[in-house]
Structures are given as structure tokens and as C-alpha cells.
């Protein structure tokens, strides 16, 4: 049984239309993705591009480590204990406050 040319042409036109539909859908999607990327960059408060690299000095790294330890212990304490640790921090410094907070937390 032979296939008719008209049937083949109709099938090919149908396939071409389907590809055209897919292409237009992909173009719309690409446009939306670009808009989303642009708006996401604006929401973060900066233009979309490479982030700056922060270089920490050894002194600043040590300060951050102390701050993290202090905050970590303070989270575990009750309000009265926190007040006590804050008073020690004012009088004798962060290291002494961390030692007291550590002993109160355990």
C-alpha cells in the first residue's frame, strides 16, 4: 500500500507547526528567565555580577571567633545570667565574660 503525497505533506506541515510552537514557547520562557535574573539582582541590592571577596586579617578573624563563642554561650543562658555575663564583659572584658558564660551554660 502506497502512502499518499497529500498525507505526507499534511503530516510535515503539522510537525513544522509543532516545532514553531515549541520555539515560540522557548523564546517566551527565555525572556522570563532574563527578567527574573535581573529582578533577583535588584532585590539583593546590587547589580548582577561578581561578588567582592572579603579578606580577613588575623586580628579580625580572632575577633569574630570570640564574638561567635560569646553569642553561642549567651543564647543558652537565662535573662538573669545574661545580665551577669554582660556586667562581667563591661568590667573585665570579653574573654572573662566567655569563661563565666561557659561555666553557667554547663
Q: What is the pLDDT of residues 3-50, one digit of tens each?
A: 888 899 999 999 999 999 999 999 999 999 998 888 876 665 555 567
pLDDT at site 38: 81
% of the chain surpassing 70 pLDDT: 91
In sequence order, what E strands does 20-92 have? none
Q: How far apart are CA 94 and CA 65, in angstroms?
A: 11
**Cα(2)–Cα(4) distance, integer angstroms:** 6
Helices (H) then strands (E): counts for the chain: 4, 0
Contacts (Cβ under 8 Å, ≥6 apart) of 70: 89, 94, 97, 98, 101
- At 78 the pLDDT is 96
Domain segments of the chain as ranges: 1-43, 58-105
Q: Give the model confidence (pLDDT) of 44-87 as tens digits.
A: 555 556 778 889 999 999 999 999 999 999 999 999 999 999 99
| Residue 93 DSSP code | -
Amino acid at each position: 500500500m502506497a502512502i499518499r503525497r497529500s498525507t505526507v505533506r499534511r503530516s510535515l506541515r503539522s510537525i513544522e507547526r509543532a516545532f514553531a510552537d515549541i520555539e515560540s514557547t522557548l523564546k517566551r520562557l527565555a525572556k522570563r528567565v532574563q527578567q527574573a535574573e535581573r529582578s533577583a539582582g535588584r532585590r539583593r541590592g546590587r547589580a548582577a555580577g561578581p561578588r567582592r571577596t572579603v579578606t580577613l586579617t588575623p586580628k579580625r578573624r580572632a575577633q569574630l571567633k570570640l564574638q561567635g563563642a560569646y553569642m553561642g554561650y549567651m543564647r543558652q543562658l537565662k535573662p538573669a545570667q545574661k545580665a551577669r555575663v554582660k556586667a562581667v564583659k563591661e568590667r573585665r572584658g570579653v574573654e572573662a565574660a566567655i569563661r563565666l558564660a561557659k561555666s553557667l551554660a554547663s
